[in-house]
Amino acid sequence: MVASVGHQCPECVAEGRRSQRPALTHFGGSQIGIQGYVTKILIFLNVAVFVIGAVAFGGSVFGGARGLIYLGGVVGPSFQVVGDPTIYTGIDDGAYYRLFSAMFLHVGIIHLALNMYALWVLGRSLEAALGPIRFGALYLLSGLGGNVACYIFSPNVPSVGASTSIYGLFAAYFLVLKRLGRDATSVIPIIVINIVLTFTIPGISIAGHLGGLVTGAVAGLGLAYAPRQNRTLIQSMALVVTFVALIGITIAVGAMG
């Protein structure tokens, strides 16, 4: 059926939309990333987990999340909670989920606020450039890489926080700007300052921050510099290889220990 001038039949419009290729970003991701949905979801999850851990287990939202151990997210070996006879299994006992859950836990409202602010600023820009799926994979891989580094280099020190992922976003943001031909020099002082703070402020996980930074750089290289031909395949392979390598390293270290 031919539509008259100035009118369109719904069936023709729907068929036309199905036949059109969706608009993609420079790196092959969906342009829906400009809405920042994944960034907002990640912030919501971090805040929700913090509130649950602080309130549900007798803590205080402003005083800190005392429930983080109960939520099973601390990176570290097996340990026993003081005053509680229950022994909580750690990575050494096969609780590898801690490598992921730890990146959604924070100790104190300031810890949470600083990380969420950084995620809000970096996340929206990177998600708009990479698309939601690629950005989400980058975030999780960076957090995983930082936590694996914690397990390897400081296995007896419990650690939590989204900063492992945030440092990975710093590295990827620099690479994305370079790939787009934009001035990335302004990012370098920010990264250097954060690295200096990592080494100078007590209580900060050096291994976690540097592990996240290196992992974000590796994943960011694969996402930003994959050639246009077979780009999605190469990007996927880069992410999968990084993930498998991190898991393999964790298992190997656990077996040796």
Known catalytic residues?
163, 209
User: How far apart are the C-alpha atoms of 127 and 29, rounded to whole Å?
Assistant: 9
**Quick one: which of 104, 103, 101, 106 has its CA closest to 89?**
101
Q: How big is the CA angle at 58 (ends 63 and 117), to the nearest 5 degrees? A: 40
Alpha helical stretches, state H, 163-256: 163-179, 187-200, 206-224, 231-256
Q: Exposed, middle or buried, 185 (CB in 10 Å: 0-12/13-18/19+)?
A: exposed
194 CB contacts (<8 Å, ≥6 apart)? 167, 170, 209
Q: Exposed, middle or buried, 47 (CB in 10 Å: 0-12/13-18/19+)?
A: middle
Residue 150 DSSP SS3 = helix
